[in-house]
C-alpha cells in the first residue's frame, strides 16, 4: 500500500524547459514512475531529440514567457489530448555579472524567464485543475531562494520570488484540491552551471562548503519530484523542499 502512494500511473505531467538538464531528468524520472510526460520548450528540434529518449512522451512547443501563447497551447492541449495532472515549472535561465554593472536587459530577461513563466503556465494549467478539483504544481526554486552569492543578485531575486509565488499558489488554490510546492536544488552539474563546473576553484570551494562534499547529480532530484507529484504528498502545500546536500543547513 505505501509504495502505491508514489505510483504515477494514469497521470500526465507537463514539464517546462525539459529538453535538457534538470527538466529532462525530472521528466524521465516521472515517466519511470508511470506518468505520461509532456516535454516543453521553444526549440522543436531539441524537444524531438529529448522525446526520442523517453518512451511514450509527447511534446508541446510554446514560449513560456508569452502569456497568450501559453494560454492557447494549454487550452488546446487539454481540449484535444486530455488533462494535465502534474505541472513542473522548470523553465529558467542564469546571467552572471557584478550587480553594479548588471545589464538591465539581462535583468528583464531573468524576470520574464524565471518568474513570469511560473505565473503564466501555472495559471493556465491551474484553471483546468481547479475545475477538476485536483492537481499537482511543482515549481523549481533554488538554494538562491534562501541564499545569495556574488554576481547573481537578480537571479537570487527571481528565485526568492518563485518561493513566495509557490506559497501564494498554495494559499489560493489548496481549497480547490491543488498541491502547490517547490523543489529548491543546490549545486547540480547542469548546462546552466557549466561555467561553474568548469572552474576548478569554484568546484573546490563548493565541495568544502557543502556537507555532502560534492556536486549533485540531476537524477537525485527525481525522488523529491515523485513525492510532490504523487498521492504521498496529499497534505503537503506551500512547501519548499531543499535538495542541496546540506548547504542551506550549514555555515
DSSP secondary structure, 43-59, as one string: -HHHHHHHHTTSTT-EE
Domains annotated for the chain, with CATH where assigned, are 3-244 (3.40.50.720)
| Closest C-alpha among 123, 211, 222 to residue 172 | 123
- Known catalytic residues? 155
Are 122 and 139 within 8 A, CB to CB?
yes
Query: For residue 243, what pLDDT band results from cuts at 50, 70 and 90?
Result: very high
Query: For residue 1, what pLDDT band results from cuts at 50, 70 and 90?
Result: low
Task: Please write the tens of the pLDDT for every residue from 73-106.
Answer: 999 999 999 999 999 999 999 999 999 999 999 9
Task: Please write the tens of the pLDDT for every residue from 17-35.
Answer: 999 999 999 999 999 999 9
Q: Cα dist. 170→82, 88, 121, 135, 174 in Å?
A: 24, 15, 15, 11, 5
Task: Please write the tens of the pLDDT for every residue from 32-47.
Answer: 999 999 999 999 999 9
**The Cα angle at residue 41 between residues 63 and 58, in degrees rounded to 5:** 120
Contacts of 240 (CB under 8 A, 6+ apart): 141, 145, 163, 166, 181, 182, 183, 184
Q: Grid coordinates in use for 124?
A: 493556465
Count Cα atoms within 13 angstroms, Cβ side, for 213: 0
Are 8 and 32 within 8 A, CB to CB?
no
Over pLDDT 70: what percentage of the chain?
Answer: 100
Query: For residue 236, what pLDDT band results from cuts at 50, 70 and 90?
Result: very high
Task: Please write the tens of the pLDDT for every residue from 192-210.
Answer: 788 888 999 999 999 999 9
Answer yes or no: is pLDDT of 144 > 90: yes
Choice among 3-7, 126-130, 170-174 with the minimum mean pLDDT: 3-7
pTM of the model: 0.97
Strand-pairing partners, residue 59, are: 39
| Closest C-alpha among 111, 91, 93, 169 to residue 137 | 169
Answer yes or no: is pLDDT of 4 > 80: yes
Amino acid at each position: 500500500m505505501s509504495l502505491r502512494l508514489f505510483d504515477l500511473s494514469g497521470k500526465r505531467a507537463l514539464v517546462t524547459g525539459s529538453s535538457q538538464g534538470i527538466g529532462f531528468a525530472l521528466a524521465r524520472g516521472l515517466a519511470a514512475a508511470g506518468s505520461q510526460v509532456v516535454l516543453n520548450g521553444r526549440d522543436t528540434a531539441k524537444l524531438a531529440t529529448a522525446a526520442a529518449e523517453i518512451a511514450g512522451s509527447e511534446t508541446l512547443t510554446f514560449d513560456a514567457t508569452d502569456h497568450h501563447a501559453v494560454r492557447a497551447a494549454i487550452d488546446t492541449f487539454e481540449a484535444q489530448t486530455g488533462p494535465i495532472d502534474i505541472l513542473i515549472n522548470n523553465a529558467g535561465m542564469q546571467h552572471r555579472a557584478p550587480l553594479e554593472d548588471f545589464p538591465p536587459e539581462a535583468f528583464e530577461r531573468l524576470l520574464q524567464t524565471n518568474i513570469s513563466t511560473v505565473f503564466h503556465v501555472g495559471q493556465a494549467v491551474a484553471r483546468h485543475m481547479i475545475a477538476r478539483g485536483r492537481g499537482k504544481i511543482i515549481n523549481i526554486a533554488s538554494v538562491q531562494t534562501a541564499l545569495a552569492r556574488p554576481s547573481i543578485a537578480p537571479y537570487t531575486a527571481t528565485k526568492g520570488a518563485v518561493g513566495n509565488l509557490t506559497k501564494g499558489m498554495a494559499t489560493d488554490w489548496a481549497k480547490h484540491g491543488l498541491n502547490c510546492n517547490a523543489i529548491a536544488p543546490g549545486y547540480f552539474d547542469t548546462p546552466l552551471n557549466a561555467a561553474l563546473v568548469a572552474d576548478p576553484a569554484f568546484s573546490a570551494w563548493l565541495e568544502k562548503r557543502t556537507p555532502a562534499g560534492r556536486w549533485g547529480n540531476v537524477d537525485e532530484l527525481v525522488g523529491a519530484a515523485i513525492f510532490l507529484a504523487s498521492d504521498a504528498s496529499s497534505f503537503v502545500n506551500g512547501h519548499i523542499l531543499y535538495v542541496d546536500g546540506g548547504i542551506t543547513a550549514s555555515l
